[in-house]
C-alpha cells in the first residue's frame, strides 16, 4: 500500500441547500456537496513531469463534475479552483443524496489539474472499490491537456493510493475526454489520445480495483478530436461505449468484451450524415434499462448539421444494433445533455440551452419508456449561467446535478431532486 499524508485544505466554496417548485413536478432540498475545514486523506505520489509552460489562468469555483451511481450509492467527484489553488474532492452518499460524506482530497500534493466542464475528471465504483481519473495540466498543448493520472480506494473512498497509468503504451499523453464505469468484471476506462497520429478511442480494463490495468486496446483509431465519451453496462456485464465518430461526425456505439479484449461496432446513433472538419465539443448520453432478457438503450445525441442542428433522443430495443427515429428535444439550441432511467422505465432527460443570461438547465420526463415526453421544465434560476447537467435515478425520482455561476461570481454546484 502506498504511503499517505494529511493535507489541510482551504474552504473554497460555501454551498447551501436549494429547492424550487416548477410546473409539472416538485423538487425537494437535498444535501449539497461542500468543502470541509477538516484535514482530509491525501494520496501521496509524484505528478507526471512536463516541460515548463505559462499556464492559462483558470476561473474560480467548481470547474469539473462527475457523478456515478452504483446500486443505492451515489459517488461525486468535483474539481475546485480557488485563486490557482486546485483540489479534486470525492464524496459519496449512501442514502441516495440525502446526506454526503466529508470531502476527501485526491491527487498528489502539488498536482496542477486541468479542470474543464465537458472534459471532466471521472469517478466509478463497485463495492468497496472506487477509482478516479483526471487530466494533469499540460505544458505544450494550447488547451492545457496533459497526461492522465489514476487513484484508487479499497475502503469506500476513505483512503487513497495512486494507481498505475492506464495508458501504458502511450504514457506521455495528452489523454483527454476520459470516462470510467464499473461492474462485476472490474473497472472500465476509455479516453481519447493521438498515439496513431489521429485522435482515437482507447480502452483499458482493471480487475484489481484500479491499481493496475491490462494493456489498452484501440476501439476506434479515428474519432472526433474533442468530444466526451460515455460508457454504460448492463446486468450481463456487456459494456457499451458511445462516442463521436469521424466521416461522418455522428455518434457511434461500440460493444466491448473486456475479458477477450475485443470490440464490435454496433451502429450509428442518429444517422445525420454530418461531415464536419472541426470539433463540436459535445458528446452524448446513454442509459440502460432491462426487461427480462431485453436490453433497452436510451441515448441523447446532438448534431450541428445545418438543417437538423439540435439535440435528439433515440432508443434501441435490441442492445444497440437498431435505433428508433430521432426525436428532437429542446427548444432553440440545446447542447450538453444527460439521461437516466429508473427500474420502472421512467426516463428523465436534462440539457442546457442558450438564453438571454447564458445557459439554462432544462428537463423533460417520459413515463412510457421514451414514447412520449412531458412538458419541458426549467430548473436553473434565470439570472445564472448553468451548464452540463448530470442525472441519476433514485427511489423516489431523479437527482439533477450541474454547475452554474452568476455574473462576476464563482462556479458552484447545484443539485435538485425531481419527483
Domain residue ranges in the chain = 57-223
Residues 6+ apart with CB under 8 A from 406: 383, 384, 385
Distance CA 311, CA 270 (A): 10
Are 232 and 181 in contact, with CB atoms under 8 Å apart?
Answer: yes
Burial 306-337 (b: 16+ CB within 10 A, else e): eeeebbbbbbbeebbeebeebeebbeeebbbb
Distance CA 388, CA 67 (A): 12
pLDDT in tens, the chain (419 residues): 433 332 323 333 333 323 323 333 433 334 445 444 343 444 443 334 444 445 567 889 999 999 999 999 999 999 999 988 899 999 999 999 999 999 999 988 888 898 999 999 999 999 999 999 999 986 555 556 789 999 999 999 999 999 999 999 988 778 999 999 999 999 999 999 999 889 999 999 999 999 999 999 999 999 998 999 999 999 999 999 999 999 999 999 999 988 877 899 999 999 999 988 877 889 999 999 998 889 999 999 999 999 999 999 999 999 999 999 999 998 878 999 999 999 999 999 999 999 877 999 999 999 999 999 999 999 999 999 999 999 999 999 999 999 999 888 999 999 999 99
Is CATH 1.10.3720.10 correct for 57-223?
no
* Per-residue DSSP letter, 212: S
Distance CA 125, CA 108 (A): 21
Coil, strand, or helix at residue 173?
coil
Distance CA 390, CA 403 (A): 10
Q: What is the pTM of this model?
A: 0.88
For residue 248, say if its preceding peptide bond is cis, omega within 30 degrees of 0.
yes
User: With 0-12 CB in 10 A as exposed, 13-18 as middle and 19+ as buried, what is 19?
Assistant: exposed
pLDDT on residue 137: 80
Amino acid at each position: 500500500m502506498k504511503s499517505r499524508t494529511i493535507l489541510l485544505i482551504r474552504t473554497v466554496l460555501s454551498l447551501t441547500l436549494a429547492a424550487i417548485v416548477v410546473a409539472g413536478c416538485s423538487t425537494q432540498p437535498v444535501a449539497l456537496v461542500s468543502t470541509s475545514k477538516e484535514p482530509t486523506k491525501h494520496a501521496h505520489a509524484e505528478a507526471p513531469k512536463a516541460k515548463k509552460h505559462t499556464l492559462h489562468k483558470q476561473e474560480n469555483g467548481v470547474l469539473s463534475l462527475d457523478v456515478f451511481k452504483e446500486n443505492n450509492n451515489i459517488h461525486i467527484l468535483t474539481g475546485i479552483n480557488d485563486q490557482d489553488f486546485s483540489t479534486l474532492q470525492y464524496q459519496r452518499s449512501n442514502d441516495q443524496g440525502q446526506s454526503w460524506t466529508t470531502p476527501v482530497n485526491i491527487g498528489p500534493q502539488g498536482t496542477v489539474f486541468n479542470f474543464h466542464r465537458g472534459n471532466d475528471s471521472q469517478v466509478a465504483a463497485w463495492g468497496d472499490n472506487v477509482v478516479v481519473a483526471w487530466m494533469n495540466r499540460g505544458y505544450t498543448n494550447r488547451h492545457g491537456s496533459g497526461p492522465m493520472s489514476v487513484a484508487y480506494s479499497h475502503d469506500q473512498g476513505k483512503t487513497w493510493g495512486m494507481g498505475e497509468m492506464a495508458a501504458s503504451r502511450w504514457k506521455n499523453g495528452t489523454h483527454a475526454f476520459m470516462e470510467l464505469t464499473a461492474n462485476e468484471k472490474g473497472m472500465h476506462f476509455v479516453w481519447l489520445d493521438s498515439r496513431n497520429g489521429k485522435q482515437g478511442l482507447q480502452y483499458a480494463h482493471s480487475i484489481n480495483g484500479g491499481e493496475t490495468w491490462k494493456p489498452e486496446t484501440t476501439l476506434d483509431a479515428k474519432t472526433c478530436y474533442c468530444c466526451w465519451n460515455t460508457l454504460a453496462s448492463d446486468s450481463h456485464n456487456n459494456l457499451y461505449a458511445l462516442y463521436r465518430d469521424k466521416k461522418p461526425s455522428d455518434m457511434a456505439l461500440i460493444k466491448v468484451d473486456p475479458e477477450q479484449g475485443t470490440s464490435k461496432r454496433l451502429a450509428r446513433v442518429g444517422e445525420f450524415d454530418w461531415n464536419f472538419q472541426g470539433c463540436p465539443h459535445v458528446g452524448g448520453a446513454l442509459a440502460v434499462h432491462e426487461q427480462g432478457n431485453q436490453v433497452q438503450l436510451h441515448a441523447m445525441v446532438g448534431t450541428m448539421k445545418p438543417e437538423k442542428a439540435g439535440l435528439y433522443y433515440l432508443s434501441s430495443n435490441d442492445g444497440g444494433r437498431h435505433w428508433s427515429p430521432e426525436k428532437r428535444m429542446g427548444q432553440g439550441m440545446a447542447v450538453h445533455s444527460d439521461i437516466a432511467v429508473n427500474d420502472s422505465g421512467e426516463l428523465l432527460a436534462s440539457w442546457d440551452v442558450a438564453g438571454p443570461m447564458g445557459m439554462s438547465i432544462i428537463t423533460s420526463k417520459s413515463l412510457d419508456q421514451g414514447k412520449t415526453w412531458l412538458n419541458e421544465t426549467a430548473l436553473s434560476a434565470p439570472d445564472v449561467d448553468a451548464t452540463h447537467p448530470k442525472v441519476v435515478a433514485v427511489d423516489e425520482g431523479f437527482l439533477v446535478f450541474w454547475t452554474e455561476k452568476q455574473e462576476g461570481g464563482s462556479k458552484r454546484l447545484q443539485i435538485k431532486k425531481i419527483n
